[in-house]
Structure 1
């Protein structure tokens, strides 16, 4: 059965609200809470970017059942992978083994801030592979852990506080090359396009490597609200960057750049890709391609920071029951 998650969108809410929303999402019945990990919002209109790891630590203390996940953290430029391993192990302990470390090659928007440059896709994937090796070595409990790679070094590393259950690692992939590299190295798949080829390619790559089958975790934006026109306007104001595609979204460095790149995107264009308004059946139809493609988990992003409470109320009474009924039929 498909599991459904709720996204703690750090770009559109402050830390205290995110913690409150997380507790409410667990109460509403979501299976999974995923958090973005950004230094900057995509557009200035979103208006927020608190530190995801502090938020998740607090979330771990106000929830009991729901799983937690970064969606996703880039462990290569803004963070050193040894520090990401330490953060993930700590969160695994705080959450009583409910945490999954979602990793990806990152976006210029968040990584350029530390002045480390923005490498090519090939180099970013090389860096991510090294980072995963480092994180895995530290999760193994080796000490002292030493590593010398092309991009990273670790000297006498050790995680002094490790959860009894190893923190699972999920990797964001977008095509055959990234699948071939990361499927054997990690535990689960992350992807934002409902493409069956990704799921099938991932499953084959893991089988060929002698690895067990895994979860495949997708994400989709929605904008539920009682007024469809208002929802379309909110989605356009805050989420029109979404349609740019991974290649564009990964490379633009600033909110001004995203504003310029999306200046000719119309509200009706956004409404074609994001279900807007009170009609729950539109949300079901938008999410349906994910479970048809074989995704095991789908996390919803409710667009609009000030609409979360009402969305979560309706999610409990209408949206989640409709999704579960449709995905199990």
Structure 2
């Protein structure tokens, strides 16, 4: 069992996030993951530091934690060759401590900085498949001439590569990308707070199908989940803390084509608090949190990355590490 901390790049600036990551290591968390947003979920009070640069600072300021993106998109504003170069450098500097977490992207992040027309899911997944193939070739071969449908390289070389390839974790919420993760990834990422049937009947079975199709054993892939938990001794405060993250409670249909944080913020703020809290485990009781987490562990998730919605992150890190983490480790190993 690994227990991680989610650095909320949409909510805090890079200096604060660095301070939180250092504290998380001091308090015994195993990993720190950060999202890679060009624009946050909301305009007012939002942040969007560049995760690649931030990870270098975290690596230099810590000594033990595993760190990575959850997630970045190596297909539009980031070319896969640049992503490969960046994570080769991070992997060389911080051996066995770096994870490249990737996904197919969101229009909120990719359209504003590029002016592109947002493609359909089929193309986004095809681009991701091609990007993974190119990244791995750049990490393993000396000179790479790649002729894909979407990306091309000519005699490309990454000169500073790690001794071992950086693990690639693939994030997704649908059957096709879960199957692709099973075939090609070192880890699978999803988020909590959705219907149990999604994990039990769709995502994890399709990861297993992908593993079998590729002739890989079940334990060839790490199953990671971002756990949305608002934990505080003051239950009213724990509920109220979730308001900043109202966009998470919007349905895919409600937010699919929204490319402006101002509009995303308007949609999120219109939601009642009851709907906002529905995406979170909200509790003032450590044992209650353990029992709420239990179904995810029983489904097979063994890397739990905890995302807290409040603005006092040191309060969460310290109280969660002291009150909840020991109970999680006793319950699940």
- State the TM-score, normalizing by the size of structure 1: 0.92
Aligned mates of 1:63, 1:248 — CA distance in 2: 39
Aligned mates of 1:268, 1:36 — CA distance in 2: 26
CA contact (8 A) 1:76 1:128 kept: yes
- Residue equivalent to 1:205: 210
Aligned mates of 1:130, 1:242 — CA distance in 2: 29
Alignment of 1:1-329 (within 5 A): 2-113=1-112, 114-140=114-140, 142-193=141-192, 195-197=199-201, 198-212=203-217, 213-236=220-243, 238-246=244-252, 248-304=254-310, 306-328=311-333
Aligned mates of 1:203, 1:78 — CA distance in 2: 31
CA deviations 1:294-319 (Å, max 9, x no partner) are 11211111112x31111111122111
CA contact (8 A) 2:6 2:306 kept: yes
CA deviations 1:113-150 (Å, max 9, x no partner) are 2212211111111111111111011011x232111212
CA contact (8 A) 1:196 1:294 kept: no
CA contact (8 A) 1:36 1:71 kept: yes
Runs (5+) with no aligned partner, structure 2: none
SS of equivalent to 2:183: coil
CA contact (8 A) 2:43 2:261 kept: yes
SS of equivalent to 1:218: strand
Aligned mates of 2:67, 2:253 — CA distance in 1: 27
CA deviations 1:142-192 (Å, max 9, x no partner) are 232111212111122111100101101111122322233342222211112
Q: 1:53 to 1:9 in 2, by over 3 A?
A: same
Q: 1:298 to 1:133 in 2, by over 3 A?
A: same
Aligned mates of 1:233, 1:208 — CA distance in 2: 45
Aligned mates of 1:245, 1:135 — CA distance in 2: 32
CA deviations 1:259-282 (Å, max 9, x no partner) are 233343111222333133532234
CA deviations 1:36-66 (Å, max 9, x no partner) are 1111110124421111111110000111111
Taking only aligned residues, the RMSD between alpha carbons, in angstroms, comes to 1.8
Tell which deviates more after alignment, 68-77 or 220-229.
220-229
Q: How many residues align?
A: 324
Q: CA deviation at 1:84?
A: 0.4
- State the TM-score, normalizing by the size of structure 2: 0.91
Aligned mates of 1:287, 1:126 — CA distance in 2: 33
CA contact (8 A) 1:38 1:110 kept: yes
Aligned mates of 1:308, 1:71 — CA distance in 2: 18
CA deviations 1:179-217 (Å, max 9, x no partner) are 333422222111124613322321232122112421011
SS of equivalent to 1:273: coil
Q: CA deviation at 1:248?
A: 4.5
Tell which deviates more after alignment, 23-32 or 278-287.
278-287
Q: CA deviation at 1:249?
A: 4.4
CA contact (8 A) 1:107 1:249 kept: no
